[in-house]
Each structure stands twice: as structure tokens, then as C-alpha cells.
Amino acid sequence: MIGVIQFPGSCDERDALDAVKRVAEGRLVWHEETDLSDLDGVIVPGGFSYGDYLRAGAIARFSPAMEVVSRFAANGGAVLGICNGFQVLCEAGLLPGALLPNQGLRFICRQVGLVAEDFKGPFGSGIEPGDLLSIPVKHMSGRYFAPDDELDRMGTNGQIAFRYATGDNPNGSVRDIAGVVNEAGNVLGLMPHPEHAVDPLTGSDDGLALFRALVGAPQATAA
């Protein structure tokens, strides 16, 4: 069972749930829920949790469900953060770095090319390093940032998961980074929306691989 967290202001939780249901069972998890013991994996979806007040993701990280998700991740549970979910996971300290307002100060909504890196953890199963995925982005604050020494460390440790294809960096992210994993590899965050790329009818089903990987990830208990 995959749980998709729903905050006030989330807007992609139903698409994420639909994507999950193409490969496994799933359910929505209201942000005040604290019993996540039935879950084998968690998605923190896109949207504008708590209106993105203060900074994107800054307030959602303190919600009761996120405290449980933090423990779940520490126990090795697989967590996928998409867009606003990526911002929440960075603010919560589950992923390194931060997401800043886009360099061009505009909301961007378009298909981008993503190049998969050789990264650690369960999310790389079904994707080969160098694979090119076509997945849409839609965000205002997607400029990934981490200090240079941290980025070097992450590179050595296999924590850079996806980069925007050459010339396709939409937001000024440092080193073209579109997605990263934590040190253990069980938490993945990315700005592009794999849940909007699960059916050839909408241009691409390249996003499905990540949901299959989430479902196939090693189990942990959501304490």
C-alpha cells in the first residue's frame, strides 16, 4: 500500500494516486493522520502546501503526518517527493539542499528532458544511467541549490538522481540538477512530475518507472 500525503493546498495528490494505482494499491493520507502502519511507501505530492507561505514547503514539514514520514524514512522506508514534495523533504532535512525561486521569476509549465544518473537506492531500478526521460515540470520555485562542497560529496556518493538534459534547465538549478536522493538512497525528490507522464495519451509514460520502483522498494515500517 502506497500512501500519498494530502496537505491543505496540495493539488497533485490525485494524479499521484492515479499513477500509483496503475501499478499497485494506494490511498490518500490526510496530513493530520499519524497511523501510517499500513503503508509500504510514501509519496509527498506537488502543489502549494499551506499556500507556500514563508518558503515553499517550510510549514508542511511540521505537519503530524510528516513527523511519521521522517521516522519511516529513517527506518529505510521509500519516500518519493515530487515538486512541492521535494521542497518539503528538503525543508524537513530528509534531503540535502534547497529550492529557490526560478532564475527567470516565472512559473514554468512544460515538458523537459531528464537524464538519469548512476544513483543509489531503490528508485534507480528500471532506469539505466544515461536514460533520457520526457517528463513535465510546473513550478515557481524549482532552482535547486546546495553548496559546492556538498554537491561534490553528493556526486561521489551517488546522490544526484536526475539532471535536466543539456540546454533544458528551466530554472537555473545548480549543475542542472533536477532530482536527488538522500545518503541511503531510500528518499528521492525531484521537481519534474512523473505522475503527469504515465500514459502515452498525454505524450509520455516515462514517469511510470519511478512508481514501479517505489512499489518494488524494500519494505520498512511506518512507526
- Under the binding rule (CB under 8 A), the answer on residue 88 touching other proteins is no
- Under the binding rule (CB under 8 A), the answer on residue 67 touching other proteins is no
State the catalytic residue, choosing from 13, 91, 117, 195. Answer: 195
Is 83 catalytic? The answer is yes
Coil, helix or strand at residue 18: helix
Q: What is the DSSP string of 142-154?
A: -EEE--HHHHHHH
Question: Rounded to an integer, what distance in angstroms lies between the CA atom of residue 198 and that of residue 216?
Answer: 17
Residue 62 CB, nearest approach to other proteins (Å): 8
Residue 98 CB, nearest approach to other proteins (Å): 5
- Under the binding rule (CB under 8 A), the answer on residue 122 touching other proteins is no
Question: Rounded to an integer, what distance in angstroms lies between the CA atom of residue 152 and that of residue 148?
Answer: 6
Size of the site for other proteins (CB under 8 A): 19
Stretch that binds other proteins, among 12-20, 90-98, 107-115, 118-126 (CB under 8 A): 90-98
Residue 212 CB, nearest approach to other proteins (Å): 32
Question: Rounded to an integer, what distance in angstroms lies between the CA atom of residue 99 and that of residue 123?
Answer: 21
- Under the binding rule (CB under 8 A), the answer on residue 100 touching other proteins is yes
Question: Rounded to an integer, what distance in angstroms lies between the CA atom of residue 46 and that of residue 50?
Answer: 12
- Under the binding rule (CB under 8 A), the answer on residue 153 touching other proteins is no
- Under the binding rule (CB under 8 A), the answer on residue 82 touching other proteins is no
Query: Among residues 129 and 147, whose Cβ is nearest to other proteins?
Result: 147
Question: Rounded to an integer, what distance in angstroms lies between the CA atom of residue 159 and that of residue 179?
Answer: 9
Is 139 catalytic? The answer is no
Question: Rounded to an integer, what distance in angstroms lies between the CA atom of residue 58 and that of residue 134?
Answer: 29
- Under the binding rule (CB under 8 A), the answer on residue 149 touching other proteins is no
Question: Rounded to an integer, what distance in angstroms lies between the CA atom of residue 211 and that of residue 195?
Answer: 8
Q: Which of 19, 78, 146, 181 lies at the binding interface for other proteins (CB under 8 A)?
A: 146
- Under the binding rule (CB under 8 A), the answer on residue 145 touching other proteins is yes
Q: Which of 23, 28, 98, 115 lies at the binding interface for other proteins (CB under 8 A)?
A: 98
Question: Rounded to an integer, what distance in angstroms lies between the CA atom of residue 3 and that of residue 159?
Answer: 24
Burial of 35 (C-beta count, 10 Å sphere; 0-12/13-18/19+): exposed
State the catalytic residue, choosing from 13, 31, 83, 196. Answer: 83
Active site residues: 83, 193, 195
